[in-house]
Structure 1
Amino acid sequence: MSDRLDDIASFFDGGRLTLARQLAGLRKNALAGLIGKTPTAVAAYESGSKNPAPATVAALALALQVAPGFFTARPSRRTLAATAPHFRSLRSTSQISRDQAHAYGCLALDVVTAIERHVEFPARDLPCRPVAPDAIGRGPEAAAAALRLAWDLPPGPVGHLVRLVENHGGVVVFSPLANATVDAYSFDTAQRPIILLNPLKDDYYRQRFDVAHELGHLVMHVDAEPGGRAVEDQAHRFAAEFLMPAAEIADELPAKADWSRLGQLKQHWNVSLQALLFRARTLKVMSDVTYRNAMATISARGWRRREPGPMPLLEQPSLLPRALKLLADEARVDEHTIAAECQAPLGLFRTIVSRSPSAQPVSADAAGRPVSLLALEE
């Protein structure tokens, strides 16, 4: 073991230490206290100006609950996000929470890279349609229409949105409970775009809008500064047009708060009552006064938290969990093997490859041969 620690100390990657510290939600001074070093020493380890001693590597691994090998360089770090993560509100999310969430996304990229050594995923197919944050006009709506066209979507409601993203080369995962204070977010990489969903948002309609919102960022905001009000408004407009094209829904929307009609549209278009009301107002089908009164009714009846009517089950990611099952069944490669390849803590690995935050994938004995997963179907 000492020889192994000597090797890790020699090839120590400070960026991996930063990643592990951020995953743990720790500041440098907090980590320094846990390992009996100064914050200056921790900063030196992370910057690469100084390598830790083997005993310090062991202490870091213990404090951060990762294997010592986590601190060696990973190839995927060179292909990390070309865009900063798109968080909904920078003011309401602390820097340490954003760092922790982004670190988890980076770990998810490591897991995807490891699985793709064994499984062929659908090719990346996400067109770029930049819209400047200060642009006027219908840029977001045009971008949404362009994506529907590029993905050959028929008129009408969008089907299983998470699977649609996965079939076009995106990755969708649930965040761990530790990041539950952070809403859905996304970032792009040279490898694949990644969308991360909040694990506590138990609402089918809001989850779908979240995914469409993040698609908007990935399509329009490659170079945009994230978190600004204009950027978020554009992503919201993109999502509304992508899920409810104006040319198709405008004539269906009521001018008054006809709850029966709105309920029918909700079931048909798979969007919330609130999204429909906002769409009716945006398209000038409904007046501002009528919209405000309708939203007041929604608040008074407690529908902001839970709207009336049946709630479909959440859409669940399929790409990674099915890839793991395929490897287990056909190639005899188990979750422990893949987790070890990317040095991911097993608990976080299981969350990344799960259909839901509480699910766990199937295991098998380890070995390995290439298999393919080019399309996802139920």
Structure 2
Amino acid sequence: MAETVQVYGYRVRQARTIRSSPIKPLAQLLGMSPSAWTALERSASTAMPVMRLRALAAKLRFPHDFFLTPPGGLPVHRGSLLLRAKKTIKIAEIDALTAFAEMVQELWQSLAEHATHPPLRIPIGLPAGTSPEEAARLTRSALDLREDEPIAHVMHTVERAGIPIAVAGVGMPDAKHDAFSVWAGDFHDEPLIVAKPVNSWERTRWSIAHELGHLVMHHGIIPDDAEEQANRFANEFLLPVSSLQKEWPSAATLSTLYSLKQRWHMSLASLIMHGRQNGLLDEARASGLFKQLSARRDPHTQVTWKVQEPGWSDLAPERPRLIAVMVERGLEEQPSARLLSSISGKWADDLMQEVLDGQRPAPAVSRAEGRRSQEVESVSNVIALRRRA
């Protein structure tokens, strides 16, 4: 009789979905029917011949031990992912993002066994009818942010609020999907943000603020206008209307708005939307400014300002650092994919490397690179973590 091992069905599902592998060819590879494969994924555990496990692991590019390790972390429910234009994404793509979120959440829980992390500081459970603008103001207050000062580093601020962020080249196929957020766990009490490594600092900051808005306002029932609410939250969080009104130019043009962009680190497009929302621009003028963004081009690349605004390369896109810091402080080792895999369920090294590649280097390395030196200096003390006893 062939040697068998107990394989956890949920681990099989996680590996298949995160690799976006359809069931039928995998079932054929292992000499199974699609219905038998489905039964395998739904089972708590199933005896599997070792040779079959080796073929499965090789095909999905996962270590054998992953399938033999009980599922850890907190469950992430597919329907709880907050994504823009969610209806345009295929179910298989949502499943892959769900599995990725589960991987990061399992890593986060594992790291919490070795190092403390910042307590959650964002307001949740806001009264019904709270406007996105008021939610943003309450959030800035909870995070000790002044209304008359720009946020130096949005990701750093969110991480200090106790929310882990992973930046990785995950499968968000639409240009609208730069990031997603989720409340994980049986009680939906563990927040997480995942973002793509886009090269636009404006889009990066705004996307993280947008996802923060989801976490603050949509902890439970998700309204039909959730995306519009998160848009309004992001604009108000990045630039409170009290300062917007004081600093709004007497004649709003792309040139005069550019100074606001430089000071508050927001895109021209988001400033136009913010001004329109707060009555500083009428519909006709806002429409005209958007048309100018579409018409004007970079003289060197010929890319329109709507796609790539002027100043897009002035700053380096923000990146998170909390996961790396927890490894350094809690495990007293330099982060590596193999190390992260070893402490959190034996996830594939290449997936863990995706997470590490999205982390900001240590402050000394960042200063040597010479980009955003002043900002890096201001956020060099990321989080005051301590190693768990």
Contact 2:168–2:357, Cα closer than 8 Å, also in 1 = no
Tell me by how many angstroms 1:252 deviates: 2.0
Corresponding residue to 1:350 among 345, 349, 353: 353
Partner of 2:166: 173
Q: Which residue of 2 aligns with 1:211?
A: 208
312 and 180 in structure 1: CA distance in 2 versus 1, 3 angstrom threshold: farther
Give the SS at the match of 1:162: helix
Partners of 1:20 and 1:64 within 8 A in 2 = yes
Q: CA deviation at 1:357?
A: 10
- The letter for the 1-side match of 2:191 is P
Query: 2:44 & 2:243 partners in 1: Cα distance?
Result: 59
Q: Compare 16-25 and 331-340 and name the one that shifted more.
A: 331-340
8 A contact 2:324–2:359 mirrored in 1: no
- Whether the 8 Å CA contact 1:87–1:183 is kept in 2: the answer is no
Corresponding letter in the other structure for 2:318: E
Counterpart residue type for residue 208 of structure 2: V
Worse-matched range after superposition: 281-290 or 345-354? 345-354
| Residue matched to 2:217 | 220
**How far apart are 1:83 and its partner, in Å?**
7.0
Partner of residue 366, structure 1: none
Distance 2:169 2:334 in 1: 27
- Partner of 2:319 in structure 1? 316
Rate the CA distance shift 1:168–1:30 in 2: closer, same or farther, 3 A.
Answer: same
In structure 2, the CA distance between the partners of 1:164 and 1:256, relative to structure 1 (3 Å rule), is same
Unaligned 5+ residue runs, structure 2?
A: 297-303, 366-381
Bigger drift between 123-132 and 37-46 goes to: 123-132
Structure 1 position 375 matched with structure 2 position 375: no
Contact kept in structure 2, 1:28 and 1:39, CA below 8 Å:
yes
**Residue 142 (structure 1) aligned to one of 88, 110, 134:** 134
| Alignment partner of 2:343 out of 338, 341, 344 | 341
Question: Using a 3 Å threshold, how does the CA distance of structure 1 residues 333 and 316 change in structure 2: closer, same or farther?
Answer: closer
The separation in 1 between residues aligned to 2:275 and 2:356, in whole angstroms, is: 38
Distance, in Å, in 2 between the alignment partners of 1:27 and 1:95 is 12
Q: Secondary structure at the match of 1:242?
A: helix
1:335 Cα offset (Å)? 4.5
Q: TM-score, normalised by structure 2?
A: 0.82
Distance 1:140-1:374 versus aligned 2 partners, 3 A rule: same
**Unpaired stretches in structure 1, ≥5 consecutive residues:** 363-372
Instruction: Report the CA distance between 1:184 and its aligned residue.
Output: 0.7
Q: 1:242-280 CA distances to partner (integer Å, 9 max, x unpaired)?
A: 111112212322364323321110011110011111111
Contact 1:324 1:353 in 2 (8 A): no
Contact 1:21 1:27 in 2 (8 A): yes
C-alpha change, 1:337 and 1:207, in structure 2 (3 Å) is closer
Cα distance 1:178–1:288, how it changes in 2: closer, same or farther (>3 A)? closer
Equivalent pairs, count: 350
Select which of 119, 122, 144 maps to 2:118. 122
Partners of 1:128 and 1:246 in 2: how far apart? 22
- Look up the equivalent residue of 2:252 and give its one-letter code: A
Aligned mates of 1:43, 1:348 — CA distance in 2:
24
Q: Does 117-126 or 240-249 show the bigger shift?
A: 117-126
Give the counterpart letter for 1:346 in structure 2: D
Between the aligned partners of 1:131 and 1:230, the Cα distance in structure 2 is 17
Distance 1:131 1:344 in 2: 40
Picking from 147, 156, 159, the partner of 2:152 is: 159
Matched, 1:99 2:95: yes
- Find the partner of 2:60 among 53, 60, 64: 64
Cα gap change, 1:80 to 1:94, in 2 (>3 Å): closer
CA deviation digits over 1:202-227, x for unaligned, max 9? 110111110010001111111124xx
- Stretch moving more, 32-41 or 271-280: 32-41
Residue deviations 1:285-330 (CA, integer Å, cap 9, x gap): 11111111111111001111111135310111111123334456x3
Equivalent residue for 2:37?
42
Match of 1:198 in 2: 196
Q: Secondary structure at the match of 1:51?
A: strand
